[in-house]
Structure 1
Amino acid sequence: MDISSILTVTVPVTDQERALAFYTGVLGMEVRTDNPAPMGRWLTVAPKGGETALLLASWFPDMAPISGLVVASPGLDELAARLREHGADHEGPTDEPWGRQLVFRDPDGNGFVVVAA
């Protein structure tokens, strides 16, 4: 049997409340789950209507930040403005041979590439 989908990507964070505010308030994602779990709070967010969720996990203190997760947005300029307004580390948008993109890091140093949708 082949793998049919990617359900969740774990994103290591140090403060789930701060991460939640960033992913929902700045990036516009929605909360999918927010439940207590044996190892801590099981907190996932996802783009509205998206299938894959991000697990904002605080129970992996030695996990290195992720890098290079590629997501899409129809409004790179608006997203860049929100990132700038919230003091987030970002570059762009820039025009590249493969299209328009924006690169940013969340408050815990996790790196994302946003391509124009």
Structure 2
Amino acid sequence: MAHGVATVWVPVTDMKRAVAFYRDSLCLEVKSEGEDWSELDVGGLMIGLNAREDAQVSTSGGAVITFQPDGSIEEERDDLVGRGADIRGEISEHPWGRILPFKDSEGNDLQLYSPPKA
């Protein structure tokens, strides 16, 4: 049985563009960078950027990576817009928290999530 997540793999079509997005737009630490594989650290979880030969920019979604913002979700939205992220809607309110959908440079679905206020 699984007891943790080792790596999240994200397909990319342009490694340099993808690394720049995750480094510059999301402010993640690049641990290694290569032509076919790059690794980023997200608070101890590794995101692997995988430049597969058959990767294509996604338009229909798939898996979603959800990030916890450092500040308020509104502040982080404004920062992401300023860094060129593709915001895909407004902040939505739910009993379990708030989310803001956006896409990375390769068309992968991402979100910001903040838990409900206690």
* Same fold, judged at TM 0.5 (above): yes
Distance 1:92 1:12 in 2: 25
Distance 1:4 1:67 in 2: 20
Distance 1:41 1:108 in 2: 14
C-alpha RMSD of matched pairs (Å): 2.2
- Determine helix, strand or coil for the equivalent of 1:108: coil
Counterpart of 1:114 (choices 103, 112, 115) is: 112
Counterpart of 1:92 (choices 90, 93, 101) is: 90
- Matched letter for residue 114 of structure 1: L
What is the match of residue 6 of structure 1? 5
For residue 62 of structure 1, report the CA deviation from its aligned partner: 4.0
Taking structure 1 as the reference length, the TM-score comes to 0.77
For residue 60 of structure 1, report the CA deviation from its aligned partner: 4.0
Percent sequence identity is: 30
Taking structure 2 as the reference length, the TM-score comes to 0.76
Distance 2:82 2:30 in 1: 22
Counterpart of 2:78 (choices 81, 87, 90) is: 81
Structure 1: segments with no counterpart, 5+ residues: none
Cα pair 1:7 1:51 within 8 Å, conserved: no
- Determine helix, strand or coil for the equivalent of 1:73: coil
- Determine helix, strand or coil for the equivalent of 2:54: coil
Number of corresponding residues: 110
Structure 2: segments with no counterpart, 5+ residues: none
What is the match of residue 41 of structure 1? 36
